[in-house]
Amino acid sequence: MYITAYGVYAAEINGEPVGDHVLAPGWTSYAHRLRYQTYDVTPLLRTGENTIGALLGEGWYTGRLGFHGGRRNIYGDHRALLAQLEIVYADGTAQTVGTDAHWRTAAGPLLRSEIYDGEAYDARRERPGWSAPGHDASDWEPVHELPSPPMELVAPTGPPVRRVQTVAPVSVLTTPSGKTVLDFGQNLVGRLRIHVSGPAGHEVTLRHAEVLEHGEPSTRPLRVARATDTYVLRGRGVQTSEGVQTDEGVEVYEPHFTFHGFR
């Protein structure tokens, strides 16, 4: 599979992620070149029906970028995906499947995912099986086909962004105002992966900071960057006789198209 995007993408085939890249295709001078990635997806394909899907985020292409608050749509005002799957069968025949006007699109749980401001994700809006065969796409809309990219398509000249380390908090602090602070013991660039359970609609807010000021997380150095991720639980609870929703399921959340500097 060859794939790239205006914005950032995360591709799946038959419900499984394609590759281990993060924030692909990365930031580049879009007016001049557009990097594409190449993946061997043989293990993801199966006999019979197959489904390709991708999430698209703003990234550097349409997201807010620059000094003094920045501005949007610096490189363009449409997110888009360009992909080509090349299959060579055991008998030597070949087939090419590419993105075209027959693809379909829909809104999902990813409401916002910005470099500066963070991500908003509502798990109640998830579409289970959206990238697997048999998914009901009757309410999906046809895509808008754009002209071929005018810039040069180029292979990457360096390694991709990947998850290379998992860091656990070294301590848990309570601030004078009662906030819970996770201290990772070092300044780092990354994002949180949380395991949480609770009723549907419960919202978890994650703020990121590098220093404390008067015992509280200091967001003043961030200026206009919100650096905030929010997760709304899907919940799978049942109503008790008292009318209280209970939920024993644990939900795992990690932002898709953002990163933060924090301690």
At 94, is the pLDDT very low, low, confident or very high (cuts 50, 70, 90)? very high
Q: Do domains 2-103+143-154 and 171-262 have the same CATH topology?
A: yes
Handedness of CA 95, 101, 107, 110 (dihedral sign): positive
Task: Please write the tens of the pLDDT for every residue from 178-192.
Answer: 999 999 999 999 999
At 69, is the pLDDT very low, low, confident or very high (cuts 50, 70, 90)? confident
Q: Which CATH number fits domain 2-103+143-154: 2.160.10.10, 3.40.50.10320, 2.60.120.260, 3.40.30.10?
A: 2.60.120.260
Reduce the DSSP state of residue 252 to 3 states and report it. strand
**Which pLDDT score is estimated for 238?**
44
Helix, strand, coil abundance in the chain, percent, nearest 5: 5, 35, 60
Query: Side chain identity at 29, as an amino acid letter?
Result: S
Q: Above 90 in pLDDT, residue 154?
A: yes
Instruction: Please say whether the structural domain 171-262 has been given the CATH code 2.60.120.260.
Output: yes
| Domain boundaries of the chain, sorted by first residue | 2-103+143-154, 171-262
**Which pLDDT score is estimated for 249?**
86
